[in-house]
Structure 1
């Protein structure tokens, strides 16, 4: 079991699916958070979730801590050190009553539990600080958990002009409704009927379609938005289906669900040149995200989309406990434009994600979140006015990042990457599409969104 990372900064929401089309999840309460300690005893370890609970007053108790704890016969045998944002707390071996009544960083490693207090007696579960520990006297705050070997996709043919790039064309192809009937829809009922079967079809959306909830999209579909068309309040759901293309769609203000959700083993999906938005006037809980991928979904490409006016626009991996996502969630994210958002540009767990040539502008929190052992390659992205462009140190575990030095960080804070640099790169061909990071804002703003003439 592993030890403790106490939740992230309150200004950042936990990278967790608040609700989705099939199985809404309740928000994590602040009364109890899960924590655990790694069994490895060398070096400084990040605090990962398993179990933490209030022990009264200023004291908080963490269970299942490794190493030899103090006891009645050996009251100072523990070698455990605790750090808050890299600064050692103390005194260690404190009396438990004093931890509760006085706090101020006092802690005690007693038997197999750890009793701690924050340096200013705030709640360590919600104060946004990073807590680490060591058992061997280490004091370095750099966390370097082992990197698992990446899943390497097969090499594909060179990219053709205008072709789909990335994972939607790996281990199969995404062709959508090619060869099927073309259907023009102008109403909610017509759209719902046209996309419901698994028969190949090309559906063109014309005019403004208004409704609530979501429309379930069957396999072998291409959904194209004609000029000036939009879905108002209606989301698109790929639930276990495959071979779907969604292009040039404008989708706004979907309440309860994300505008587009790809989940439950859905695979080979391409979302391209869409305009997805809500607003940030209703608070974090009113709308969900804009474009979400999770629950064993795989082989997805998200390109040239505008995601804006939303707190949590793109999430890949819905929960820390969804370990069945390991080996899946292979997603390519390129030339998307994120603006007027808070975080998740995108945030990911578990999978292998390639993020290149995206423009992240004026996000109030973190840009790319990389957690739960996910592996992310970044190439030539442009971060502008982001507090933390790339952030690994939240949720239960950090993830791994390669290519961070290829990006431009304008008016942004430093990355918060707590793991050693990964060497992973995707093996499909994408270099013919890659442009210099300095050119990204102009190219992406001119081309992303529902700009196609179809």
Structure 2
């Protein structure tokens, strides 16, 4: 019997020791348990983190107000009338979470500020500052929430520089301006070949070589890029961009087009970018011998004019051709930046009816007026440099004045006073430009070094 009792005692002791061990393990300190939980969660997050994917905005369209619409072909189900908070989609702007999600469409359109809704298969969304997400230079990414989602931070992409491949301003609003990028590149060196290429129905990048002389205007069709090679110049013949869209003119010299403009943008043309060109006439033949250097008229819209040199003419740049042309109302949205105006009487530029934004331009030696703002036009000026201008900014001519904002941001050196007869406007363009805006004092050096053809 003794051996049996001894065995029982050993079993009981073993059982007691096991119970003590289990009890001790089940009652770790709170600190130990917290560390274990954090490590477990961290390991899970690392293993299952969802990398944010980029929203491709090339197919995005303007919906209304601040809202844009896109069908990103997601693998999750969107909201519906019976499940208005069903979607797990998260949208990020340069790595920062946007929201609120599941917003009403009317709030996305009227308020914006990053609100969005993944509804059925479509995405309705707005940017954080109500700028156009297709052109504001930011990167938009998303996660679907199918795992523990961690959005990869995205570095902010600044707008195009002065030598960039896309314009800042209105030429990138409500669409894009790519010119003939989708087509082939050809080189022309005579007037006939240039005319044939310019009216082609195909998208083309047309490189212009050498000096070409002619008279009158060269007709231009949609989806064209004109690039002047080093030494390229059009003598006496200009470009007529009439009733077309998506045209770029770059690095080209054009001069002395008798009875016409160096570049005409007319007839409802839209999304046109004139960049790093040099346009000039002379001031010896009288005011009616030539027309403007550049004209944006007759319902044309979404135009950017950047880093050009305009010089030696009586009338430089006209936006809106007549006080009676009320069909221009709601059009004529034009951005000018980095341009050099020199030895000009007036219209640097003059605008009617439209919305015009002028920043970082250098206007030197003007005997009449610099920026003319009439017929209820709305103009914003930012950090321009006026030097030797008789009247830098002028509203009191033609039938009605326009309105101006930002006049105090400019520098006026050896100039007469502005003549602005209306109260200051509060309008500021919605597109992003402030990241490339430089101080007014730095404008002359920057413009003199960069304006004109950039080979």
TM-score normalised to structure 1 length: 0.65
Q: Deviations over 1:9-30 (max 9, x none)?
A: xxxxxxxxxxxxxxxxxxxxxx
Give the CA deviation at 1:378: 0.1
Match of 1:406 in 2: 409
Greater fraction of residues in helix: 2
Match of 1:237 in 2: 240
Distance in structure 1 (CA, Å) of the matches to 2:428 and 2:132: 12
Give the CA deviation at 1:160: 4.0
Output aligned runs, 1:299-318, within 5 Å.
Answer: 299-318=302-321
The answer to whether structure 1 residue 357 and structure 2 residue 360 are counterparts is: yes
Give the CA deviation at 1:181: 1.4
Output aligned runs, 1:357-396, within 5 Å.
Answer: 357-396=360-399
Give the CA deviation at 1:153: 7.6
The answer to whether structure 1 residue 220 and structure 2 residue 223 are counterparts is: yes
Give the CA deviation at 1:431: 0.8
SS at match of 1:177: coil
Structure 1: runs of 5+ lacking an equivalent: 1-151
Equivalenced residues, count: 301
**Contact between 2:131 and 2:432, CA under 8 Å: does it hold in 1?**
no
Give the CA deviation at 1:198: 3.0
SS at match of 2:193: helix
1:157 pairs, out of 130, 136, 154, with 136
Output aligned runs, 1:59-70, within 5 Å.
Answer: none
Rg larger in structure:
2
Match of 2:337 in 1: 334
Larger RCO (CA under 8 A, 6+ residues apart): 1
Distance in structure 1 (CA, Å) of the matches to 2:362 and 2:219: 30
**Contact between 1:355 and 1:379, CA under 8 Å: does it hold in 2?**
yes
Match of 2:205 in 1: 202
**Contact between 1:317 and 1:325, CA under 8 Å: does it hold in 2?**
yes
SS at match of 1:251: strand
Q: Deviations over 1:323-361 (max 9, x none)?
A: 000000000011100001101000000000000000000
2:442 pairs, out of 432, 436, 439, with 439
Distance in structure 1 (CA, Å) of the matches to 2:436 and 2:398: 33
SS at match of 1:415: coil
**Contact between 1:153 and 1:171, CA under 8 Å: does it hold in 2?**
no
Distance in structure 2 (CA, Å) of the matches to 1:202 and 1:393: 43
Q: Deviations over 1:388-419 (max 9, x none)?
A: 10000000000000000000000001100000
TM-score normalised to structure 2 length: 0.65
